[in-house]
Amino acid sequence: MRASEPIDVLVTAAREARDRAIAPYSHFRVGAALETADGRIITGCNIENASYGLTTCAERVALLKALSEGHRVFTRIAVVADTAAPTPPCGPCRQLLWEYCGDIPVIMANLATVTSTTPLAALFPMPFDHRSL
């Protein structure tokens, strides 16, 4: 997929990633699809653990996979959950997305439709980054 591709291609990839989520405790499955500058899509799903603090969000899985594969520039991310309202990234995910992606669009969707598209800066208005050091 290239950056000019329709949003539904990215959302579909996030929905498919959600199907692979491992959520035996919360039963709250989330999928994410992160688009690289060259149009590749890197997906992730949430992976829970009995030691809840070790649970990893879908957004972080996608981001860390992308970074570990050498990608450094990202254009947008889609996050999918089975909710009526938009499901935004959690605080730690927002921090990591800001650090490595900057102010990218965050596309939130459920199993049927896109529920919101919001710039990351609107979700994370006072980020801690290199300017804070």
Global confidence as pTM: 0.94
- Nearest in space to 19 (alpha carbons), one of 67, 58, 53: 58
Domains of the chain in sequence order: 7-123 (3.40.140.10)
Q: Which residues are catalytic?
A: 59
What are the residue ranges of helices labelled H in 81-126? Answer: 91-101, 120-123
pLDDT band at 1 (very low <50, low <70, confident <90, very high): very low
Rg (CA), the chain: 14
- pLDDT-based confidence at 101, cuts 50/70/90? very high
Q: Dump pLDDT digits (tens) for 31-42.
A: 999 999 999 999
Question: Tokens representing 78?
Answer: 């889609």
In angstroms, the CA 37 to CA 72 distance is 8
Average pLDDT for 117-133: 95
CA distance 47 to 38: 27
Whether the pLDDT of residue 43 is over 90: the answer is yes
> Has residue 64 got a pLDDT over 80?
yes
How far apart (Å, rounded) are the C-alpha atoms in residues 110 and 132? 35
- Tell me what pLDDT residue 5 has: 59
